[in-house]
Every structure is written in structure tokens, then in C-alpha cells.
Amino acid sequence: MPRRGAARPGGDGRGAGSRRRVVGASFSDRDALLTGTGRRAPTLAERAELGDLAKRLPLVLG
């Protein structure tokens, strides 16, 4: 995932917050983004924490 600077207020930052609320507060913004959008599979520990939600990844918001 290329870095493009900080999230724009109300744009990417809002999406990251939504993903983090859905997948769990213990996930970092980066991990929530990568696993929530299907850019990487969740680790075994993340899969255990997500429970049944892990089967529904990637998440589509909107």
C-alpha cells in the first residue's frame, strides 16, 4: 500500500474510523484497512478476535 500522506479530514480518516469500529478497537488503522478491504488476510490471532466477522471480509462500506 503506497503512502500518500495523512488522511484528509472527513475522507479517508472517517473510513478508517468506520473500519476500526467494525473490526474492533484493538486493530491499528493500518491493520483495519488492510484486513477490512481484503488487501491482506487476517492473522490467526486477528481471525480469532474477529470470530464470525472474519468470514465476511473484505468489508464493503457504503
What is the structure's pLDDT at 49?
86
Spatial CA neighbour of 16 closest among 5, 28, 4: 28
CA distance readout (Å), 59 to 2, 34, 35, 40, 51: 20, 11, 9, 12, 14
What is the structure's pLDDT at 56?
84
0.75 exceeded by pTM: no
Q: Over the stretch 18-28, which tens digit does the pLDDT of each residue have?
A: 666 666 667 78
Residue 44: which pLDDT band, with cuts at 50, 70 and 90?
very high
What is the structure's pLDDT at 38?
87
Q: What average pLDDT does the segment 35-61 reach? A: 85
What is the structure's pLDDT at 24?
61
Calculate the CA 44 to chain-centre distance: 15
Q: What is the CB neighbour count within 10 angstroms for residue 3?
A: 5
